[in-house]
Amino acid sequence: MTSVEDMQLETAVTSPSNSRFERWGRRWSQTTAIAIAVNLLLVFFNLTYVPLRHIYQVYLPGLVKLYDPLKGIEPHPVTQEYLEDISTLRATLATADFNDLDVERQLADLRQQSTSLIDENPYLASGQITTFARLKRRIQDFTDINSADRAFQQFWRADYLQRIGWPTAEQYIDTQLVPLLQRNYFRQTLPTGQFVDDFWRLDIVFIAFFATELLIRTLIISRRHAEISWGVALARRWYELPLILPFWRWLRLLPLAVRSHRTHLLNVENLIGQVTHEPAAYLADRVSKFAMVRLINQTQTTVRSGGMLNNQQADATYTRIGDSAKLDQITDRLLQVILLRVMPSVKPDLEQLLRHSLRQALLGGDIYTGLRQLPGFDSLPDDAVDGMADYLAQASVDVLAQSYTDDEGRMLLDQLSREFRQALGQELQTHANSEELQDLLSDLLEELKVNYIQRSEQDNPLTTLQEVDVLDQQTQPKHSPR
């Protein structure tokens, strides 16, 4: 999740030399992560408050009274007056009957307000069209009248309420009408046309805390590392910038995930792996194909240009690192390893090979055949031939091994090596050999590229990514809870 530099910066702050300060730094980072989590919970509560306000009204009415002013929410005058008139009617009916003049007047007011309610649709401003439709459908179903206006007119009549019974009507009002009427509200707007939202009054406390913590942390990093300026330290923590921005607050999920993972409060590695599983698999497959094809194409270009076989023909834009005679140095080093380290290890086998070869050469040579024809040499024993072969084999090995340590011998070997390289280079640079080798290498690279693409099309990238996940799980260190 985090780069090596970020982990080093985190260590610079949270791992001082003193163990007490180390524990304090870790606890502070954990405290900051918890503060981010608390702030994020408030952010999501603020984002979902208006859509879920009717639920809070039922279960947490005290919270609604406290939070409505921050969102600029106040009771809608039309529905609020309607609810007040219903309360007045209920209070009047508690001491009077339907023949009372006050009851008749209050029922008439409710019929008039019902007409205004249907015509004006006070739910439109708050975007509660479905609530308004539910209100009309309920009164229509209860009175069995298709028109909502006529249904309300029928419901708020004394004879109708007497016929169904006031207890039944009162229960219906409490359970079916009042909750929908209480949902409606009026929300204040700014001169720009946006709704009032004073959540910043709560968020400013967290923003100040996060800004101070980020400033102190980056200053400490820039002081501990002379090569890192304060601006660079701040840029490396770009993911913490949403903590101090008064908009797009939901982006604070990113710094929360990073902090929680670093402080081991929460292991989000597996979660991120599952979320990005398929996109990462196919993206990695595309990137690997691109990288392989580009590498092979550049190698083919270098081979076709002849620069690989001849340094003098290399492109002028080609950048060389160090000595240009690196191949000569590699050859010289290989000779040292072969003569001083490898040959002593295989000396017995090499002597045996040379002994056999020299013995066969002596026995089959014209000199040995001529000596056997001379008087006294016809019975030359085989031991003499073996002894001579042993001496020549051992001498050959010792000469090769000692010649590289001797100044004159080394000079002769260097001359031989140089002449060998020059002769080989001249032969390779001839037009016929050069073109043939370039064509062969280019065809080999093209064959490798085509076969790699074909095999990659047959392989499922998800299977490869699963193998990577298994390897990550096997190599991932176990963090003990702190």
Lowest average pLDDT, out of 87-91, 319-323, 356-360, 433-437, goes to: 319-323
Residue finishing a domain among 266, 289, 310: 266
Is the pLDDT assigned to residue 84 strictly greater than 80? yes
- Answer yes or no: is 382 within a domain: yes
pLDDT at 297: 76
Say whether both 37 and 88 belong to one domain.
no
pLDDT at 403: 64
Lowest average pLDDT, out of 33-37, 321-325, 332-336, 412-416, goes to: 321-325
pLDDT at 35: 94
- Answer yes or no: is 132 within a domain: yes
Is the pLDDT assigned to residue 186 strictly greater than 70? yes
Q: Mean pLDDT, to the nearest integer, of 33-60?
A: 94
Return the higher-pLDDT residue of 77 and 283: 77
pLDDT at 209: 95
Return the higher-pLDDT residue of 335 and 287: 287
Say whether both 334 and 437 belong to one domain.
yes
- Answer yes or no: is 244 within a domain: yes
pLDDT at 285: 75
- The vertex-278 CA angle with 276 and 283, nearest 5°, equals 90
pLDDT at 15: 43
Is the pLDDT assigned to residue 408 strictly greater than 90? no
Say whether both 24 and 108 belong to one domain.
no
Q: What percentage of the chain has pLDDT greater than the value 70? A: 63
pLDDT at 342: 72
189 DSSP β-pair partners? 195
- Answer yes or no: is 319 within a domain: no
Say whether both 429 and 356 belong to one domain.
yes
Task: Provide DSSP, 132-187.
Answer: HHHHHHHHHHHHT-S-HHHHHHHHT-HHHHHHH-HHHHHHHIIIIIHHHHHH--EE
187 DSSP β-pair partners? 73
Q: Mean pLDDT, to the nearest integer, of 344-352?
A: 71
- Answer yes or no: is 284 within a domain: no
3-state secondary structure of 189: strand
pLDDT at 477: 57
**CA 182, CA 234: separation in Å to the nearest integer?**
49
Strand (E) or helix (H) holding 215:
helix 200-224
Is the pLDDT assigned to residue 27 strictly greater than 80? yes
Say whether both 428 and 364 belong to one domain.
yes
195 DSSP β-pair partners? 189
Q: Count of alpha carbons within 13 Å of 189, Cβ hemisphere only?
A: 7
- Answer yes or no: is 464 within a domain: no
Say whether both 445 and 394 belong to one domain.
yes
**CA 172, CA 138: separation in Å to the nearest integer?**
10
Is the pLDDT assigned to residue 307 strictly greater than 60? no
Largest CA distance in the chain: 165
Residues 6+ apart with CB under 8 A from 306: 313, 434, 438
pLDDT at 417: 67
Residue finishing a domain among 135, 155, 184: 184
The phi and psi torsions of 330 (rounded to 5 degrees) equal: -65, -45
Q: Mean pLDDT, to the nearest integer, of 408-419?
A: 70
Each residue's pLDDT tens digit, 120-175: 999 998 889 999 999 999 999 999 999 999 999 999 999 999 999 999 999 999 99
Which of 228, 206, 227 is CA-nearest to residue 217? Answer: 228
- Answer yes or no: is 477 within a domain: no
Return the higher-pLDDT residue of 368 and 188: 188
Each residue's pLDDT tens digit, 270-298: 776 677 767 777 777 777 777 777 777 76
pLDDT at 5: 44
User: Tokens in use for 42?
Assistant: 């408030």
pLDDT at 215: 93
Task: Provide DSSP, 1-36.
Answer: ---HHHHHHHHHHH--SSHHHHHHHHHHHHHHHHHH
Q: Which residues of 9-44 are buried (b: 16+ CB within 10 A; e: fewer)?
A: bbebbbebeeeeeeeebbeebbebbebbbebbeebe
Contact in structure between 74 and 188 (CB atoms under 8 Å):
yes
255 lies in which domain range?
4-47+199-266
Residue 226: pLDDT band by 50, 70, 90 thresholds?
confident
Residue 434: pLDDT band by 50, 70, 90 thresholds?
low
How many residues are recorded in the chain?
482
Residue with tokens 């597996």: 270
Q: Mean pLDDT, to the nearest integer, of 400-413?
A: 67
Say whether both 442 and 333 belong to one domain.
yes
Say whether both 257 and 360 belong to one domain.
no
Residue 176: pLDDT band by 50, 70, 90 thresholds?
very high
C-alpha to C-alpha distances, 328 to 104, 293, 334, 411, nearest whole angstrom: 115, 31, 10, 14
pLDDT at 362: 59
Say whether both 336 and 408 belong to one domain.
yes
403 DSSP β-pair partners? none
Mean residue pLDDT of the chain comes to 78
Return the higher-pLDDT residue of 463 and 247: 247
Which of 203, 196, 193 is CA-nearest to residue 74? Answer: 196
Q: Mean pLDDT, to the nearest integer, of 308-331?
A: 56
Q: Mean pLDDT, to the nearest integer, of 444-469?
A: 68
- Answer yes or no: is 346 within a domain: yes
- The vertex-229 CA angle with 228 and 234, nearest 5°, equals 100
Is the pLDDT assigned to residue 392 strictly greater than 90? no
Return the higher-pLDDT residue of 343 and 239: 239
Q: Mean pLDDT, to the nearest integer, of 419-428?
A: 63
Residue finishing a domain among 218, 242, 266: 266
Residues 6+ apart with CB under 8 A from 417: 331, 332, 335
The 3-state DSSP composition of the chain as helix, strand, coil percent (nearest 5) reads 75, 0, 20
Look up residue 338 and give its DSSP letter: I
Task: Please count the structural domains in the chain.
Answer: 3
Is the pLDDT assigned to residue 480 strictly greater than 60? no
Residue 236: pLDDT band by 50, 70, 90 thresholds?
confident
pLDDT at 121: 93
Say whether both 445 and 351 belong to one domain.
yes
User: Tokens in use for 211?
Assistant: 């800004």
Residues 6+ apart with CB under 8 A from 120: 78
The phi and psi torsions of 379 (rounded to 5 degrees) equal: -110, 35
User: Tokens in use for 112?
Assistant: 């008039």
Is the pLDDT assigned to residue 312 strictly greater than 60? no
Say whether both 123 and 31 belong to one domain.
no
Say whether both 440 and 344 belong to one domain.
yes
